Homo-oligomer: A and B are copies of this chain.
Amino acid sequence: MCAELSLDDHAHTAYDTTVASGGFRLTRQRREVYEALLETRDHPSAVQVFMRAQKRMPTISLATVYNCLETLTQVGLVRQVNFDRGPSRFCPNAHPHGHFMCTRCHHVHDVDVPDAAALSRVWQLPNNYVVTQSEFSLRGLCPECVVAANDAE
């Protein structure tokens, strides 16, 4: 369903070293937020992360979850994924990849980009532009919803 990348271990290491050494404190809240994200790779919204983190640490606040998610994003462990005006979704997959969102069930999956270099050949921009970040996203129906949509007719 969702591309498995098994970078959990790698990511844990990245957290311990990057956060601790980069001038960022390794607080219980940040760890819980990151754990909540790794636990279920379903691109949860900030509120969903909050609810999950709350189970393990009932005193955590929503504002802290937002702050932690921003810190983790700055550190590079987390990517913030936006589809239209909906709430931001968060993704602990540091590899370059795209995203697919099902317009029916609103689930978000990672999309592999085997040839990242090919992507940069697709678009044309005068060469005095400096591109620092590129991303792409797809929308449509996931297999479950294709079936469900056909049944509904």
| B140 contacts A137, C-beta separation under 8 Å | no
CB distance from A59 to the nearest CB of B (A): 27
A115:B125 contact, CB within 8 angstroms: no
Interchain nearest-CB distance for A115 vs B (Å): 7
From B113, B115, B134, give the contact of A138 (CB < 8 A): B134
Copies of this chain, count: 2
CB within 8 Å of B: which A118-133 residues: 118-119, 121-126, 128-133
Is there an interface contact between A103 and B132, defined as CB atoms closer than 8 Å?
Answer: yes
Min CB distance A153 to B, Å, is: 14
- A127 and chain B: residue at smallest CB distance: B143
Q: How far is the CA of A96 from the CA of B110 in the complex (A)?
A: 23
Q: Which of B126, B128, B139, B143 contacts A134 (CB 8 A)?
A: B139
Confirm or deny: A68 has a beta carbon within 8 angstroms of a beta carbon on chain B: no
B124 touches A143 (CB 8 A): no
Task: State the Cβ distance, A140 to closest chain B Cβ, in Å.
Answer: 4
- A67 on the B face (CB < 8 A): no
Q: Which residue of B lies closest to A147 (CB)?
A: B128
Enumerate chain A interface residues (CB-CB to B < 8 A): 80, 82, 84-85, 88, 98, 100, 103, 111-115, 118-119, 121-126, 128-143, 146
> Lowest 3 CB-CB distances: which A-B pairs, in order?
A136-B136, A131-B140, A128-B143
